[in-house]
Structure formats: structure tokens, C-alpha cells
């Protein structure tokens, strides 16, 4: 499969001040992320709050500018584009956000919300626009009558369908989905997963899925990158990661997910302490203060993300110094 | 002998000409030392049940029927002065969002001490000393320093530990935990679960554990009730609900869970009914894969199919065999 998206040592640092007059600190939200995703793939970035997964998505979408590093979309240097070129490229890269309540303008009819990308990119207007919106709504399982209504008249699941219809309007190649299911109840979440799966098959879509929900990722993703404090600690196929995690953080993360089926339960590994602040990143391996398996080189030597048999791991246990 | 007994609890919220049936005919008993789970999706009435038990229902909501018997006393209809001696003392509550349930302008130590001053008549100094002990008990590192901190100086996991310390302060007989880990990351959730399990072993406190997370409820509770649109759909031992779910809704929830890779999910079609479109007969029938004509005729009873396993479905026997 050809490559769709690649990043190299991507970084996003934010300046922040501790208190009103305190010293300047640097939040290293994304701190050197390199990965490559293929066309047609569902590539998931997982991790806990503050690991930098959403910032990574925003940098790739150029909703915020990268501090360092490079990214290519289908061979095009994403950070070398001028405004017009970026606008043209955005047709091929769309986004769905977590909160379907916040991402729809409450004063815009669904017709205008879903049709807006088509208007901006001068794809359709008038009766043709209406027809296009109808067909988009149909694709996400909503009736034509929805077009005349306002966001408040819809449930969370329906609003997320509307956001998906809007993201589909320009027939993109890539949809960046930042926690698209987190605000939804289980029974509705399953409807939306199936919808995303169908759209992917029908339209040869790729998804960059940002999620903290490991059940969803296990079910839906082809490849998974696990992030911790701004870096990828492990990456591989979903099978590899979920069946045989190599990094101690991945292992602990998977063991901590509550499992309804008593037979599938793993022994719960409880990590001590909290995730350190991204302003004070620990020396050596950034996971070492919480790692149950940390040993001598871990607090001194930064482990590289080393590839072996199609998966990458950043851990001294897996790749001895 | 059960510690808490909820009998036919019915809570209505009038909304103009309509009534939202927040909780309907809900009954359960919680024994001493038991963790009882209430699980369901948004709006199923699980949090309203907790608030009713605590006597903290929003002003619009009315308990129209039922009893809440705690330590042989019916709490329904008791004046607030009586409930206040029970709340935070005999019954404690842990809420979902520790940031909004802690007061931002007082130190966490003072907030714990205040409880002990109110309910146990301790002096402020004795209360603060006790707060240090309690923070140690819930494994807050360096409790003697943390006791002087404000909530915003702590992480979400730490704040939830403070909430648990507050809940434990008066050695309650019973704790209501309403989505206590929902705002936390999974590795922090694992820490809190471990703590709750240890405290349960050491104190023998009973717990009503409310969550939307099927995995979580099955790991932590002994018995549970699955709620849908205000009513109990299934009630049984936690292990049985997951190995042999009896109600089509429980089955639907489990089939909706993305647990197995590549398997097409079987979502429950449609959405939860609102006051405007509440169905006659079984409230789940419009979304049910097993619906027959009789389902729309009358509300099915909650029936005990096997000892301790209750199901609200007229076709439960057939479905169990299928």
C-alpha cells in the first residue's frame, strides 16, 4: 500500500508561565514523533490525557504550527504550503471532533452546516447543493428532513452523524477523528463505529483515529501507536499490540482496561503515581519513574524507537543498550 | 438483613404537560459489605436513584412512590434536618467530578476536618490531624504537606482520593459512588479501583456503585441492576449477567461493545425514548430485536427466572434457550 501520511521528528512546544510572574517553562506536548500511515489504513494514536495525541492531530491538520519536524501528506510537504495550497489540500483532509455539541453552530441549519464545505470550495450551490446534502445525510443514515432542522433537535449520536456527513462532503482521502466516540453511549457508539467502517469501505477512506478507548482501537484500528508524554513508546499492528504488548507502559495500559467478560480479564498492573508534567520530562526513558520493570540504564539513556519485525518499541528491555 | 432497601422507588420530573419518568418502580436491597452496581446509559435514572437515596433530588423532581429504608428507617419524607445527620455521616457519596465537588477556596485538609467538626464534634485541630491520617489511608503521598493544599494544586486522581478520604471520614456504613472514575485515565482508574477494593476489605463498607461502564461494573460489583429509561431491566449476580445475559437490552449492550477484533458490531437501533415518545407496553420494545405484538400491550413485570436472577421481559425463557 502506498504511503498517505508521514511525519518526521514532529514537535510542538508551548511556552507557559508558572503563575503570573513565575519563571517561563516549556510544555513539550509533542516531542519528536515519527510515523507513517498507509492509504486505506486506520491508524490509531492512543494514550492518556496530556500525552500529546490531540496536539499531534492538530499539528498535522495545521490547526497549530509545528515547533520542529516535518510532515508529508501524499508526498506533499505539509509545512511548505502557502494559504491557497493549504486550502486546496484541506479538501483531502477532514476532521471530526469529540464533542458533537460544540462542533456544530447552533444557529446554522443542518443544510448549511453540512453544505458549508461545498460552498467554501465552490463545489455546489442552489438546488444542486441541496441534493448533495441530501445524499450525504442519506449516507450517514439521516432523513432528508434533517436538512431543515437545527443541531439542538438532534441527539448526540445523530449530531456525530451530521459531523461525519460534513467531513465526507468533499470526498476526502483522510479523516482525522479526534475521540469521535467518547461523548456517546455504548449502544450509539456501536452505530457510529459501524458507520465509519462502512464509509471507509465504500470510499477508500483512511482514518487517523485519536482515542483513549482501547476497546474501540482494538476493534477498529489496523495499526496502533501508543503515546506517553509526547513521544511514541510503541507502534505496531493492532494484533501485535493487543495480543503481545512489548512496552511496559502498553502492558499496564491494556491491563487497566476493565473487561466485562470475566474470562478475558488480565492481571491488573497498577502503575504508581501520576503522569509527570510535560514541563518537567524525566531523564532517560520518560516512563522510568513509574515503570515496574525499570533497571539501571533507564534513568540515564533515552531509548530509541527501534524497529524489529514490523513493530517499533522504545524500551531498553526490548532493545538492550 | 439488608442495610439499604429500596422499594418501588418512583421519581417523576414534570416537564410542562409531560412527565419524565426518571425512575420507575425500582427495588433493590444491598447487604452489609456488598458492592451493588447500577449500570445503564445516560438518562437511565441511575444518578437520580443515588440522589433520591441521599435526599438530594433537584427541586423539580418528586418521589411519587416508594420507600428507601436505611438502617430500618424510611428516608422518604424525612425532613432535611434528619437527612443532614445521615448524609456524610452514615451515608457518604463520591461524585464523578472531584473538581466541582470540592470547594476551591478551602484547603483539602480543612474540608475533611469540617466534616468531622460537624458530625463528630471534633475541634479544628483534631479534625486536621485526623485529615492527615485519612489522606494517608487513601495513599496520598506526603499527607502532612498535602493537607494544606488546595484542590487546584492536585491532579484528578489525587482529588478523587481526597473525595474518598472525605467519604470515609465519619466511617459510614454505606458509600454511594456515582461514576467515581469516569473523569480519570485508565491507569489512574486502576489505582482508584485498587484503593476501593482494599478499603472494602479493611472497613467492610457497603457500596452502591453507579457507572455506564459494563467492564467496570462487572469487575467491582457483587450484584447489579441494569437500568433502561428509568426501570430495572435485569438484576442478578454480576458474573451471571455477563456470562448469561437474560434481557435483550443487556444482550444488546454487550453486543455493542467493541471487544473482539474485526467482528461486526450489532448496535441497538434507535435511541432511548423521551417523555414525548414513551412507548406503551415495554419501554425497550421499539429497539428490541425480540419484539412481538404482546410486548406493546402491557409493561412486563420484573420476574425471577432463577434464584436471584430477575428479568423484565415476557420472552425471557425463550431467549434464554435461543
What gap in Å lies between CA A218 and CA A297, rounded to an integer?
A: 32
Q: pLDDT tens across B25-77, in order?
A: 999 999 999 999 999 998 899 999 999 999 999 999 999 999 999 999 999 99
Q: For residue A197, list chain B residues with Cβ-Cβ distance below 8 A.
A: 264
Nearest to B167 by CA among B79, B93, B224, B107: B93
User: What three-state secondary structure class fits B94?
Assistant: strand
The minimal CB distance from A187 to the residues B141, B243, B253 is found for: B253
Sequence-distant (6+) residues with CB within 8 A of A191 are A141, A157, B267, B269
What gap in Å lies between CA B175 and CA A154, rounded to an integer?
A: 36
Here the cell at position A204 is 477508500
Compute CA distances B174 → A209, B32, B35, B86, B119, whole Å: 41, 8, 10, 10, 16
Q: Is B218 on the interface with A (CB under 8 A)?
A: yes
Sequence-distant (6+) residues with CB within 8 A of B297 are B280, B281
Q: Is A190 on the interface with B (CB under 8 A)?
A: yes
What gap in Å lies between CA A169 and CA A163, rounded to an integer?
A: 10
Cβ <8 Å between B190 and A191: no
Q: pLDDT tens across B228-285, in order?
A: 999 999 999 998 888 889 999 999 999 999 877 778 899 999 888 888 889 999 999 9
- For residue A9, pLDDT beyond 80: yes
Here the cell at position B272 is 432511548
Nearest chain A CA: its distance from B205 CA (Å): 22
Q: pLDDT tens across B141-188, in order?
A: 899 999 999 999 988 889 999 999 999 999 999 999 999 998 889 999
Summary mean pLDDT of chain A: 93
Residues 168-197 of B with CB under 8 A from A: 185-191, 193-194
DSSP A257: S
DSSP B113-176: HHHHHHHH---HHHHHHHHHHHHHHTT-SSHHHHTT--GGGS-HHHHHHHHHHHHHTT--SEEE
pLDDT of residue A92: 95
The answer to whether the Cα torsion of B250, B95, A55, A35 is positive or negative is: negative
What gap in Å lies between CA A252 and CA A305, rounded to an integer?
A: 19
pLDDT of residue B225: 97
Q: Is B243 on the interface with A (CB under 8 A)?
A: yes
Residues 125-184 of A with CB under 8 A from B: 155, 157-158
- Is the distance from CB of A166 to CB of A113 less than 8 angstroms? yes
Q: Is A262 on the interface with B (CB under 8 A)?
A: yes
CB atoms within 10 A of CB B88: 19
Here the cell at position B2 is 439488608
Q: Is A268 on the interface with B (CB under 8 A)?
A: yes
- For residue A309, pLDDT beyond 80: yes
- For residue B97, pLDDT beyond 80: no
Sequence-distant (6+) residues with CB within 8 A of A112 are none
Compute CA distances A143 → A148, A149, A202, whole Å: 10, 11, 20
pLDDT of residue B73: 92
Q: How many residues does chain B have?
A: 322
Q: For residue B260, list chain A residues with Cβ-Cβ distance below 8 A.
A: 219
Nearest to B61 by CA among B10, B106, B126: B10
What gap in Å lies between CA B189 and CA B64, rounded to an integer?
A: 36
What gap in Å lies between CA A177 and CA A45, rounded to an integer?
A: 10
What gap in Å lies between CA B256 and CA B192, rounded to an integer?
A: 26
Q: What are the start-end ranges of the H helices in chain A? A: 53-60, 83-90, 110-120, 126-139, 156-168, 186-203, 214-220, 238-243, 248-256
pLDDT of residue B42: 86
Nearest chain B CA: its distance from A109 CA (Å): 22
Tell me the pLDDT band of A321, cut-offs 50, 70 and 90. confident
The minimal CB distance from A252 to the residues B187, B194, B266 is found for: B187
Q: For residue A252, list chain B residues with Cβ-Cβ distance below 8 A.
A: 187, 190
- Is the distance from CB of B273 to CB of B229 less than 8 angstroms? yes
Q: For residue B216, list chain A residues with Cβ-Cβ distance below 8 A.
A: 258
Tell me the pLDDT band of B195, cut-offs 50, 70 and 90. very high
Question: Burial of A275 by CB count in 10 Å (0-12 exposed, 13-18 middle, 19+ buried)?
Answer: buried
Q: For residue B158, list chain A residues with Cβ-Cβ distance below 8 A.
A: 274
Q: Of all helices (H) and strands (E), which one includes residue A76?
A: strand A76-77
Quote the pTM value: 0.90
User: What three-state secondary structure class fits B19?
Assistant: strand
Question: Burial of B203 by CB count in 10 Å (0-12 exposed, 13-18 middle, 19+ buried)?
Answer: middle
Cβ <8 Å between B258 and A190: yes
Interface test with B, best of A258, A259, A269, A270 (most B CBs within 10 A): A258
- For residue A99, pLDDT beyond 90: no
Which residues, listed in sequence order, are joined to residue B209 by a DSSP beta bridge? B37, B177
Q: For residue B259, list chain A residues with Cβ-Cβ distance below 8 A.
A: 215, 218-219, 259-261, 264
The minimal CB distance from A194 to the residues B214, B257, B265 is found for: B265
Compute CA distances A185 → A146, A160, A191, B44, B220, whole Å: 22, 12, 10, 11, 20
DSSP A80: G
Q: pLDDT tens across B198-227, in order?
A: 998 999 999 999 999 999 999 999 999 999
A29-38, B75-84, B182-191, B254-263: least confidently modelled range: B254-263
What gap in Å lies between CA A318 and CA B103, rounded to an integer?
A: 46
The minimal CB distance from B185 to the residues A49, A189, A193 is found for: A49
Tell me the pLDDT band of B101, cut-offs 50, 70 and 90. confident
Size of interface A-B (CB pairs under 8 A): 121
pLDDT of residue B212: 93
- For residue B1, pLDDT beyond 80: no
pLDDT of residue B319: 87
What gap in Å lies between CA A217 and CA A182, rounded to an integer?
A: 12
Nearest to B104 by CA among B149, B140, B56, B160: B149
Q: How many H helices and E strands in chain A?
A: 9, 12
Half-sphere exposure of A276 (CA within 13 A, CB side): 18
| Averaged pLDDT, A60-73 | 96
- Is the distance from CB of B128 to CB of B147 less than 8 angstroms? yes
Q: pLDDT tens across A200-230, in order?
A: 999 999 999 999 999 999 999 999 999 999 9
| Averaged pLDDT, A140-147 | 93
Q: Is B198 on the interface with A (CB under 8 A)?
A: no
The minimal CB distance from A257 to the residues B215, B264, B265 is found for: B215
Q: Is A216 on the interface with B (CB under 8 A)?
A: yes
Tell me the pLDDT band of B83, cut-offs 50, 70 and 90. very high
Question: Burial of A124 by CB count in 10 Å (0-12 exposed, 13-18 middle, 19+ buried)?
Answer: middle
**Strands A68-73 and A42-46: what pairing?**
unpaired
The minimal CB distance from B239 to the residues A262, A264, A269 is found for: A262
- For residue B7, pLDDT beyond 90: yes
Q: Tell me, what's the ipTM?
A: 0.87
Q: For residue B266, list chain A residues with Cβ-Cβ distance below 8 A.
A: 190
Nearest CA in chain A to B195: A270
Half-sphere exposure of B274 (CA within 13 A, CB side): 7
Cβ <8 Å between B185 and A255: no
Q: How many residues does chain A have?
A: 321
Here the cell at position A75 is 508526498
- For residue B133, pLDDT beyond 80: yes
Q: For residue B189, list chain A residues with Cβ-Cβ distance below 8 A.
A: 256, 258
Here the cell at position A235 is 507502534
Q: Is A307 on the interface with B (CB under 8 A)?
A: no
Amino acid at each position: 500500500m502506498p504511503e498517505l501520511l508521514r511525519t518526521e521528528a514532529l514537535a510542538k512546544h508551548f511556552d507557559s508561565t508558572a503563575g503570573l510572574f513565575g519563571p517561563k517553562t516549556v510544555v513539550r506536548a509533542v516531542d519528536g514523533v515519527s510515523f507513517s500511515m498507509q492509504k486505506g489504513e486506520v491508524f490509531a494514536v492512543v494514550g492518556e490525557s496530556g500525552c500529546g495525541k490531540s496536539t499531534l492531530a492538530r499539528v498535522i491538520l495545521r490547526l497549530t504550527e509545528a515547533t520542529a519536524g516535518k510532515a508529508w501528506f501524499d508526498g506533499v510537504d505539509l509545512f511548505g504550503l502557502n494559504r491557497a495550497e493549504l486550502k486546496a489540500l484541506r479538501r483531502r483532509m477532514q476532521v471530526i471532533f469529540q464533542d458533537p455539541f460544540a462542533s456544530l453552530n447552533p444557529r446554522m441549519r443542518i443544510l448549511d452546516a453540512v453544505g458549508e464545505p461545498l460552498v467554501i470550495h465552490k463545489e455546489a450551490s442552489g438546488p444542486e447543493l441541496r441534493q448533495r446534502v441530501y445524499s450525504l445525510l442519506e449516507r450517514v443514515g439521516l432523513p432528508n428532513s434533517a436538512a431543515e432542522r437545527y443541531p439542538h433537535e438532534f441527539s448526540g449520536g445523530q449530531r456525530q452523524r451530521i459531523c461525519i456527513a460534513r467531513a465526507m462532503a468533499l470526498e476526502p482521502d483522510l479523516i482525522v477523528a479526534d475521540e469521535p466516540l467518547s461523548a456517546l453511549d455504548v449502544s450509539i457508539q456501536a452505530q457510529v463505529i459501524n458507520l465509519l467502517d462502512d464509509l471507509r469501505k465504500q470510499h477508500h477512506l483512511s482514518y487517523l483515529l485519536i482515542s483513549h478507548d482501547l476497546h474501540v482501537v482494538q476493534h477498529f484500528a489496523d495499526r496502533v501507536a501508543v503515546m506517553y508524554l509526547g513521544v511514541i513508546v510503541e507502534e505496531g499492528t493492532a494484533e501485535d499490540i493487543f495480543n503481545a504488548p512489548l512496552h511496559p507502559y502498553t502492558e499496564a495500559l491494556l491491563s487497566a482496561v476493565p473487561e466485562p467478560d470475566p474470562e478475558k480479564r488480565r492481571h491488573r498492573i497498577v502503575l504508581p503515581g501520576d503522569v509527570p508534567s510535560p514541563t518537567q520530562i524525566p531523564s532517560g526513558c520518560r516512563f522510568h519513574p513509574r515503570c515496574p520493570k525499570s533497571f539501571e540504564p533507564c534513568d540515564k539513556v533515552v531509548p530509541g524507537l527501534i524497529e524489529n519485525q514490523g513493530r517499533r518499541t522504545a524500551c531498553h528491555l526490548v532493545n538492550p543498550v | 438483613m439488608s442495610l439499604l432497601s429500596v422499594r418501588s422507588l418512583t421519581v417523576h420530573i414534570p416537564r410542562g404537560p409531560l412527565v419524565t419518568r426518571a425512575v420507575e418502580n425500582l427495588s433493590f436491597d444491598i447487604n452489609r459489605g456488598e458492592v451493588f452496581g447500577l449500570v445503564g446509559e445516560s438518562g437511565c435514572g441511575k444518578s437520580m436513584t443515588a440522589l433520591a437515596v441521599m435526599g438530594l433530588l433537584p427541586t423539580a423532581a418528586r418521589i411519587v412512590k416508594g420507600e428507601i429504608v436505611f438502617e430500618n428507617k424510611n428516608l422518604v419524607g424525612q425532613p432535611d434536618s434528619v437527612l443532614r445527620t445521615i448524609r456524610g455521616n452514615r451515608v457518604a457519596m463520591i461524585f464523578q467530578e472531584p473538581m466541582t465537588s470540592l470547594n476551591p477556596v478551602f484547603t483539602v485538609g480543612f474540608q475533611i476536618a469540617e466534616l468531622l467538626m460537624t458530625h463528630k464534634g471534633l475541634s479544628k485541630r483534631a479534625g486536621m490531624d485526623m485529615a492527615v491520617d485519612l489522606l494517608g489511608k487513601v495513599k496520598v503521598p506526603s499527607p502532612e504537606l498535602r493537607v494544606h493544599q488546595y484542590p487546584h494544586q492536585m491532579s484528578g486522581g489525587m482529588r478523587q482520593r481526597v473525595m474518598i478520604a472525605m467519604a470515609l471520614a465519619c466511617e459510614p456504613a454505606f458509600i454511594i459512588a456515582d461514576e467515581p472514575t469516569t473523569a480519570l485515565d485508565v491507569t489512574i482508574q486502576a489505582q482508584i479501583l485498587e484503593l476501593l477494593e482494599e478499603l472494602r476489605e479493611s472497613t467492610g463498607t457497603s457500596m452502591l456503585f453507579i457507572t455506564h461502564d459494563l467492564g467496570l461494573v462487572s469487575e467491582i460489583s457483587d450484584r447489579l441492576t441494569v437500568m433502561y429509561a428509568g426501570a430495572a431491566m435485569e438484576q442478578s449476580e454480576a458474573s451471571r449477567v455477563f456470562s448469561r445475559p437474560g434481557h435483550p437490552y443487556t444482550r444488546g449492550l454487550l453486543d455493542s461493545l467493541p471487544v473482539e477484533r474485526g467482528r461486526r458490531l450489532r448496535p441497538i437501533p434507535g435511541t432511548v425514548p423521551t417523555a414525548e415518545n414513551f412507548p406503551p407496553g415495554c419501554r425497550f420494545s421499539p429497539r428490541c430485536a425480540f419484539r412481538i405484538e404482546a410486548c406493546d400491550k402491557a409493561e412486563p413485570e420484573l420476574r425471577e427466572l432463577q434464584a436471584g436472577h430477575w428479568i423484565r421481559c415476557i420472552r425471557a425463557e425463550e431467549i434464554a434457550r435461543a
